Homo-oligomer: A and B are copies of this chain.
Amino acid sequence: MTISVLLVEDDIDLAATVVDYLEIEGISCDHAANGVQGLSLIDNNDYHVILLDINLPRLDGLSVCQKVRASSDDTPILMLTARDSLKDKVAGFDAGTDDYLVKPFEIEELLVRIIALSKRRSGQATSLNVGNLALQLKARTATYAGESLKLTPITFKLLEKLMREATKPVTRNKLMLAVWGEDQPDSNSLKVHIHHLRKQLDKVNANLSIDTEAGFGFVLRKKSP
């Protein structure tokens, strides 16, 4: 699977260098030139890793980091900074940073750390389990206590996302991204597929349900009643 990262960096030359290098290495790379723009991209996409410069116009890197964490987003964040003092590092980690790199850095080193951070999150499990529900990623099959569910490509992706985040609500936006990427249908497709998924869970009498968090999104969790 291809890694996608966001680079938030106001030095246009440096940014161009990094973006070009990463694209060549097969990593899809968006770029924001200031903190506010960065935040908005983060809200509307699902990056694997975020690269944050500390000195940014409009909103500095630490603040961006804090805001991201405050919105319960745990995407790995790598800080880029010219400063090398321990104080800054401590402040970074306090803000919720996962790693940092001191400028000037070797670009290969950046690559190594991006790959390491992206691995940390995706964990290469071949099967996801929530309660008695099991999803075989390679075989693209799902079973509940032995009985198999009938999943189409889209409902499979939907269920995968819900299971990865199980017990936590997933926003509509994130679900749409997980299923369709950038190129999303402009109708009520999502709720139709959610409906199909629920029917499948009913059919096997699963002890799990897809609850809706009004105004937010959906959660996969154990049935409450």
Interface residues of A (CB under 8 A from B): 69, 72, 74, 86, 89-90, 93, 96-99, 106, 108-109, 112, 115-116, 119-120, 123, 126, 137-140, 152-153, 167-169, 213-216
A48 to chain B: closest CB distance in Å? 15
Complex formed: what's the CA distance from A135 to B16 in Å? 42
B72 in contact with A93 (CB, 8 Å): no
Complex formed: what's the CA distance from A153 to B69 in Å? 18
Can you list 9 A-B contacts with CB-CB less than 8 angstroms, sorted by A residue number? A72-B137, A86-B106, A86-B112, A90-B115, A93-B112, A96-B123, A138-B168, A140-B213, A152-B215
Complex formed: what's the CA distance from A90 to B119 in Å? 12
Query: Given known contacts A137-B72, A140-B216, is B90 in contact with A112 (CB within 8 Å)?
Result: yes
A86 in contact with B72 (CB, 8 Å): no
A136 to chain B: closest CB distance in Å? 9
Query: Given known contacts A139-B167, A139-B168, A152-B214, is B109 in contact with A89 (CB within 8 Å)?
Result: yes
Considering only CB atoms, which chain B residue lies closest to A148 in the complex?
Answer: B224
Complex formed: what's the CA distance from A109 to B87 in Å? 10
Contact of A169 among B89, B96, B112, B139 (CB under 8 A): B139
Contacts of A213 in B (CB 8 A): 140
Complex formed: what's the CA distance from A115 to B89 in Å? 11
Contact of A89 among B90, B112, B140, B168 (CB under 8 A): B112
Contacts of A167 in B (CB 8 A): 139
Query: Given known contacts A72-B138, A138-B72, is B109 in contact with A93 (CB within 8 Å)?
Result: no
Query: Given known contacts A72-B126, A86-B108, A116-B93, is B139 in contact with A214 (CB within 8 Å)?
Result: no
A140 in contact with B169 (CB, 8 Å): yes
